[in-house]
């Protein structure tokens, strides 16, 4: 693999469990010291660029949000050589002008999850990465252009409220999140985006609106069966978005400031780092540890 080669990791959310556009596809099981990933990785090419696909909830949607092994998912993508990460995620809308079927390019998050491991780092190897700007702007530009080329109705710029789930919000919660200025709501972007940053993977999120959250007066509350029909249509558009994304990629990948965030984030002195933590971080921190 060349240093300037694109390898795009794609995590498919609810309704997107396969990537039929992949050519020369092969499924591989990648082991991780962080446990089991959601499923096998499917590696192939689209428009001559290498892509690695992982269904976030596993084929058949087996794994609920709180039981996703986010660390293993990001770790196996890193081990597979991914340089960048495109996340596709189903969301509810907290705004009247973001109706079902809309595609939203997210740029901010509020994390209200509480039952998940949120970092690769910990006792014996401490790091603090910045999440002030949690997505990669250049990758988000490419995602926006690809969704528009695929024919999607796209909105750029939104705050994603991540809840623990698996239950949907109460009306009071939904109104609270709207008062905070949140635009869409989901259950899976956190800690995914945080872990991608720690793994030095530039990250963009395309949120696919399936429903209005329960804040609308006179609106029936959210039911899964109401969401499934929109999910199907969104999944087809999302798959075409990935194709358009691949077609527009330049032949060589430019360097990205997010490729080296760990250079300024690890605080534990080299001689104080626990060997067991170094071993678990052999993929996530390989670049920075080898340079020290």
Which residues form the catalytic set? 211, 213
Q: Are 181 and 160 in contact (CB under 8 A)?
A: no
Lookup result for tokens 């793994």:
199
184 pairs with which residues across the strands? 93, 160
Cis peptide before 249 (omega within 30 of 0): no
As a whole number of angstroms, the distance between CA 236 and CA 15 comes to 9
Q: Are 27 and 41 in contact (CB under 8 A)?
A: yes
Beta strand 203-212 pairing with 103-106: antiparallel
Burial of 208 (0-12, 13-18, 19+ CB in 10 A): buried
For residue 220, the 8-state DSSP code is P
Query: In the chain, what is the straight-line distance between the N-terminal and C-terminal CA atoms, in Å?
Result: 23
Phi, psi of 177 (to 5 degrees): -65, -35
Q: Which tokens in the block code for residue 213?
A: 């959250």
Per DSSP, helices labelled H in 186-268 are 192-198, 224-248
Q: Are 91 and 208 in contact (CB under 8 A)?
A: yes
Q: Are 135 and 204 in contact (CB under 8 A)?
A: yes
Element (H, E) at 154: strand 154-156
């Amino acid at each position: 693999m060349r240093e300037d080669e694109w390898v795009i990791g794609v995590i498919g959310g609810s309704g997107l469990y396969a990537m039929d556009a992949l050519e020369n596809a092969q499924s591989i099981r990648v082991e991780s010291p962080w446990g089991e990933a959601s499923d096998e990785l499917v590696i192939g090419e689209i428009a001559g660029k290498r892509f690695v696909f992982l269904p976030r909830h596993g084929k058949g949607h087996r794994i609920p949000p709180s039981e996703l092994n986010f660390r293993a998912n990001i770790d196996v993508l890193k081990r597979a050589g991914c340089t960048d990460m495109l996340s596709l995620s189903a969301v509810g809308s907290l705004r009247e002008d973001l109706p079902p079927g809309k595609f939203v390019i997210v740029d901010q998050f509020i994390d209200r999850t509480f039952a998940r491991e949120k970092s690769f780092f910990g006792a014996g190897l401490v790091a603090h990465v910045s999440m002030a700007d949690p997505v990669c702007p250049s990758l988000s530009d490419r995602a926006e252009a690809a969704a528009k080329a695929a024919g999607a109705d796209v909105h750029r710029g939104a705050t994603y409220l991540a809840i623990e789930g698996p239950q949907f919000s109460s009306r009071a919660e939904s109104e609270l999140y709207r008062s905070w200025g949140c635009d869409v709501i989901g259950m899976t972007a956190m800690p995914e985006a945080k872990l991608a940053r720690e793994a030095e993977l530039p990250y963009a999120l395309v949120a696919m609106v399936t429903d209005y959250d329960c804040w609308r007066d006179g609106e029936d509350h959210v039911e899964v069966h109401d969401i499934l029909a929109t999910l199907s249509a969104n999944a087809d558009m999302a798959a075409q978005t990935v194709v358009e994304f691949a077609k527009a990629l330049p032949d060589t990948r430019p360097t990205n400031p997010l490729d080296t965030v760990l250079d300024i984030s690890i605080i534990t002195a080299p001689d104080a780092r626990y060997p067991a933590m170094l071993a678990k971080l052999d993929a996530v921190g390989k670049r920075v540890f080898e340079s020290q």
